[in-house]
Amino acid sequence: MRILFLGDVVGRSGRNALASCLPTLRREWALDFVVVNGENASGGMGLTRAHAADLLAAGVDCLTLGDHAFDHREMIAHVQEEPRILRPLNFAKAAPGRGARMFEVGGKRVFVAQVLGQVFMKRPFDDPFSAIDAALRTAPLGVSADAVIVDVHAEATSEKMALGHWCDGRATLVVGTHTHVPTADTRILPGGTAYQSDAGMCGDYDSVIGMEKGEPMHRFVTGMSKGRMSPAMGEATLCGILVETGAGGRAAHVQPVRVGGCLAPAGPAALA
């Protein structure tokens, strides 16, 4: 299988880029399954029902969320109505929706799960290691799942790496989200799990992690807020990771993806 994972979609720029590019990428790259982190798609924080529908209509098979999962209150109900949207497994015991799900596509079964990190995160989320361990036990790779994708929405690269090794051999792909900058450590771990510490964002990189530069720069310089931060509106770069499965659902090939915008392009030959 060919699976594409795209990092955090940030605001209108990211949504527009995904809507215009993803149908072509699905066709040219012969993609079987697409996972996108959508937790910053609406105004830079959270996801609305309407924007979720737009992303799914563009060809996304599964949307993951994150620490801003319920910034828009309508998502509290919608995440229970739309099974293609996942919130983190360890968000809160009373949180609506689900943190993992088995998808069926073309006779194949793809298990997707998401956890939140604890290090440097503002809220006291539950232990991500025990949460993902329990989830992976329900969907053993190569037995009940043809592919397993784990989105680690976390701040610290050390915690992401530890979770990658924790899942090694039990997942096809473990990829980090949340920090909006693509890392250069794309590789296949010893047990056959593809890994990258952060997929990057789908947004305008002429910004401060997707936001217009003025307000975050003011906050850094003065230590004070001048107003609300808003998503940058320039041309977005779609950033993520492409993985191909091999024997037993483990990763046979993995490479970073960067399409459009101001970052150097990366991806299959079709990208050229």
Eight-state DSSP code of residue 203: B
H runs (alpha helix) in the chain: 11-28, 49-57, 74-81, 128-137, 157-167, 214-222
Distance CA 60, CA 90 (A): 23
E strand or H helix at 245, and its extent? Answer: strand 238-245
Distance CA 161, CA 157 (A): 6
**Which residue is catalytic, options 51, 68, 72, 180?**
68
Q: Check if 68 is active-site.
A: yes
Handedness of CA 9, 67, 77, 130 (dihedral sign): positive
Distance CA 107, CA 48 (A): 31
Nearest to 63 by CA among 44, 95, 88: 88
Distance CA 254, CA 171 (A): 13
The 3-state secondary structure of 141-189 reads ECCCECEEEEEEECCCHHHHHHHHHHHCCCCCEEEEECCCCCCCCCEEC
Residue type, 44: G
Residues involved in catalysis: 68
